[in-house]
Amino acid sequence: MKRKLLFIITLTVLITSAWLFAAGIYRIPVYQTSRPSGPDAFGKFHYRGAIHVHSIYSWDSRQTIESIRAKALKNNLDFVIVTDHNDIRSRGQEGEKDGLLIMSGAEFSAPYGHFLALGVTRALDSNERTYGDYFDKSHKAGGLNILAHPFIGRNAWKALEMDGFDGVEMINMKIVFEQVFFTRPWLIIPAALSYIVNPGYTFLLIYEQPSKAMEFLDKTRKKMLITCGTDDHGFPQSGFLMSQCVNHVLTREPMDGDFRHDYRIILDSIRRGENFIAIDGFARADEFSFLCESDKDGARLLKLTMAGVEWAEKAGAKVFQKGVLIGTCGDLSRECGIRLQYSGAARVEVDLEVPALLHGSQKVSWINAMLCGE
């Protein structure tokens, strides 16, 4: 009996050690790209940022604006939008330094859940947040209203049929990690162990495509913006959350170091839907780009490309309208054009083929976007 137990323990230790070794040497990000130094193939300028970050002005966060800045710079971000709980005191520390733009907003608590108000210039008090016109009040204060973690978690939005919000947080990094405890508890120990040797692989291990968000976006008939929420409260201290899901914004003019100018072009580009979200922890999406235009027959045309990136043939895009697959791009190493069949935006989903941990390969959901909205 003792020998059998010893054998089982020894075998478990060997298997665990081998798995941790493999996880530890797994390359994350799997693929890298160089940052574009100027306009891309479609004449757009590409910037990376974190949205939905909490500072010491939130009751549940202890990180200062300076610590947020340090983490963002470490992860090569261009902007951060701080959204404290029902508080906009971070506006006093907005600015641009070392090539990083710090912007302010708020995460407001409302009866049906939480929403981000990007760029809002005043905090809504508890009475204003209680009644049904809080989206309108936020708009009047300059806010762009994005539902925070609306599809999963204990604060999921409970009235998605409402009007007045501009977009949804398609992925929330904090919630992704929390949900493992409730939906896939068998992954808790492997995830905890792999986090010690390779945090990025941990996210690859637990990540699932945001199917509820996709279902909602396919059903809605409104123009709908999407963002990726870091929901960073200061843990992990390494800035790991900022390095995984990234908001990519494509602007029509470059940032020039002037705070008011750069603030405006980032927020206006998000407002127009000239952005996408990507799991940069899997592969850097710096050279993915798109263009919406009308062809010679007057039909709307969506162009997608990662031309010039040596591993772009491993990325393939699917384009949906009204929940219907209207076209595919099997290889983004060349420019791909898809004629849109309906009015309204198109949902774009890019899958990426990456090596599996031990053998073969796997496809992961990499980029999500809502493009060509009206």
Reported pTM: 0.95
Residue 165 confidence (pLDDT): 96
Can you tell me the mean pLDDT for 316-335? 94
Report yes or no on 313 lying in a domain. no
pLDDT band at 298 (very low <50, low <70, confident <90, very high): confident
Q: Is residue 374 over pLDDT 80?
A: no
Highest mean pLDDT among 59-68, 138-147, 153-162, 356-365: 138-147
Q: Read off the pLDDT of each residue in 150-169 and give the average, rounded to a whole number.
A: 93
Of the listed ranges 3-17, 138-152, 165-179, 196-210, the one predicted with least confidence: 3-17
- Whether residue 302 lies inside any domain: the answer is no
β-pair type (45-53, 167-172): unpaired
Residue 371 lies in a domain: no
Residue 14 forms part of a structural domain: no
Q: Is residue 310 part of a domain?
A: no
Stretch 4-12: mean pLDDT, rounded? 82
CA of 45: how far to CAs of 51, 152, 306, 310, in Å?
A: 19, 33, 14, 21
State mean pLDDT over 58-62.
91
Task: Please indicate, yes or no, if residue 180 is contained in any of the structural domains.
Answer: yes
For residues 137 and 10, which has the higher predicted lDDT (pLDDT)? 137
Mean pLDDT of 164-174: 95
158 is in which domain, residue-wise? 31-288
Q: Kindly indicate the confidence band of residue 65, based on its pLDDT and cuts at 50, 70 and 90.
A: very high
Amino acid (one-letter) located at 132: G
**What does the longest C-alpha to C-alpha distance in the chain come to?**
80
Total domains present in the chain: 1
User: Across residues 183-211, what is the average pLDDT?
Assistant: 92
- Please state, in angstroms and rounded to a whole number, the distance separating the CA atoms of residues 157 and 294: 36
Rounded to 5 degrees, what angle do the CA atoms 327, 279, 56 make? 135
For residue 283, is pLDDT > 90? yes
Average pLDDT, stretch 51-64?
A: 94
What angle, rounded to 10 degrees, do the helices at 2-25 and 188-197 form? 50
pLDDT higher than threshold 80 for residue 142: yes
The enclosing domain of 234 has a CATH number of: 3.20.20.140
Q: What is the C-alpha separation between 316 and 314, in angstroms, rounded?
A: 7
State residue 300's pLDDT score.
92
Answer whether residue 1 is part of any domain: no
Tell me the average pLDDT across 109-135: 95
What is the predicted pLDDT for the residue at 237? 65
Domain assignment present for residue 332? The answer is: no
Instruction: Output the CA torsion sign for 134, 135, 139, 141.
Output: positive
% of the chain at pLDDT higher than 70? 99
| Residues 210-257 pLDDT 10s | 999 999 999 987 889 999 999 988 876 668 999 999 999 999 999 999
